[in-house]
Amino acid sequence: MKGKISIIGAGQVGATAAHIILQKGFADIVLLDIAEGLSQGKALDLGQSGVVERYDSSIIGTNDYNDVEGSDIVFITAGLARKPGMDRLDLLKKNAAIIKDVVQNITSRCPHCVIIMMTNPVDILTYLAWKISGFPHRRVLGQAGALDTARFSYFISEELGVPAKDIKTVVLGGHGDTMVPLPGLTTVKGKKITELLTDARLAGLIQRTRRGGAEIVSLLKTGSAYYAPAAAAVSMMESIMFDKKEIMPVSVYAEGEYGIKDVYIGLPVMLGEHGAEQIIELDLSPAELSSLQKSALVYKNGIDDLKEYTNN
């Protein structure tokens, strides 16, 4: 029997994620959006694409939360993108109101699901989703680290002219300027990245990774990245649906790991059928650990802006 995945938000990320899942064939899809006709139109197009691509999973588009009932995973992409003149707090408050409504609609209909958050600022809004849902924190996760790691790998592969598949690396911390790429744990065909790149070139790639989303926004002029974010989210879903126990960085609730507590932040996690089944503690250098803890502090401070939504 196929699983059931509901995607809240039928924009570019949500529709692209739906397409990837349908191609892989491991779940039927409910694509929900508040805009009349948007999810229905994209679902119809994706369904017709299946005739050509020969996938047999189903997809429906809807504006009715009753259709998400019984979902195994709910992927949330709903929300607003940051606009000119809008600061971080403005974006947080607008999207927090949206996410609160979404999660309240989900929890009664999908009491056993895993929630995967994509909406920005993702680490803080994943914390909000956890508080609103009342779910165990292992079943409420944020997608960012898998994307940031993919970007770091891609930039290294471009710089060295090697296939990205030969690169092993990880990016931890918050999804933003304080993210923590880990050159000390980065290898290319088994060789340490520090043996292949100068400190200056490596620092440039780290900074480009931190600005990876902004770089795409500046090139597109309107809109933001969606292919890689969707692919990264689907990789999380697939590990959960098949209980693959894959280890990847996701935004997860820390309970003392890496000296971090009571905040959602990007850490390496074993993903299985129950969500975040274990946080893996890597051997970080003192500098890397300090950067990770500083990143967590930024997002812990941001939680204070959520009090009106969490009633705490």
Q: In this predicted model, what pLDDT tens digit does every residue of 238-286 receive, in sequence order?
A: 999 999 999 999 999 999 999 999 999 999 999 999 999 999 999 999 9
State the catalytic residue, choosing from 112, 137, 175, 274: 175
pLDDT at 177: 87
Read off the pLDDT band of 176 (50, 70, 90): confident
Alpha carbon distance 171, 300 (integer Å)? 19
Domain boundaries, the chain: 3-142, 145-307
- For 145-307, CATH gives 3.90.110.10
pLDDT at 222: 84
144-155 residue pLDDT tens: 899 999 999 999
Q: Which pTM was predicted?
A: 0.95
Bridge-based pairing state of the strands 167-168 and 59-62: unpaired
pLDDT at 160: 97
195-224 residue pLDDT tens: 999 999 999 999 999 999 989 989 998 888
Alpha carbon distance 163, 154 (integer Å)? 9
pLDDT above 90: residue 300: no
Alpha carbon distance 144, 44 (integer Å)? 29
pLDDT at 87: 62
51-82 residue pLDDT tens: 999 999 999 999 999 999 999 999 999 998 76
Hey, do 3-142 and 145-307 end up sharing a CATH topology, with the first three levels equal?
no
The mean pLDDT of the chain is 94
Read off the pLDDT band of 84 (50, 70, 90): low
- Give the CA-trace dihedral at 249, 252, 255, 259, to 10 degrees: 40
| Residues 3-142, CATH architecture | 3-Layer(aba) Sandwich (3.40)
Instruction: Verify whether residue 175 is a known catalytic residue.
Output: yes
